[in-house]
Amino acid sequence: TFNYKIIIGLYIHISCLIERLVTKQKVELYDDLEVFQKKHQQFIDKFQECFHDLAKHYSVQIPEIEIVYIYRYIHSILDEKGEAK
C-alpha cells in the first residue's frame, strides 16, 4: 500500500504521462534503461498490466522510460521514509 504522499504524486505524474503520450511529446533518455529492465521486469510487467486499458483507450504505448520515472518517484519517497526494500 502507498501513503497519501505517494498517491497524490502518482496522480500528478500519471496525468503528465498521459498528456505527454496524447500530445506526442518526447521524453528524456534514461542511460541505464537496459539495467532497469533486467532488475525490475516484474514492475514493468505489472505497470503495463495496470495501464493496459488506459493505453488502449488513448491508442498509445507507454514507453518504458515513463515506467522508470514512476518507479523512481515511488522509491524516492519510500527512501525518504526508510521504507524502501
Q: What is the pLDDT of residues 42-73, one digit of tens each?
A: 999 999 999 899 888 888 888 888 898 889 88
85: closest CA among 42, 56, 34?
A: 42
pLDDT for 83 equals 59
Which pLDDT score, from 0 to 100, does residue 48 have? 93
Residue 34 burial (CB count, 10 A): 10
Judge whether 33 and 68 are in contact, CB under 8 Å. yes
Q: What is the pTM of this model?
A: 0.76
Mean pLDDT of 76-82: 78
* pLDDT at site 44: 94
Q: Which residues of 9-29 are buried (b: 16+ CB within 10 A; e: fewer)?
A: bbeebeeebbeebeeeeeeee
Q: What is the pLDDT of residues 6-33, one digit of tens each?
A: 889 898 988 888 888 888 887 766 678 8
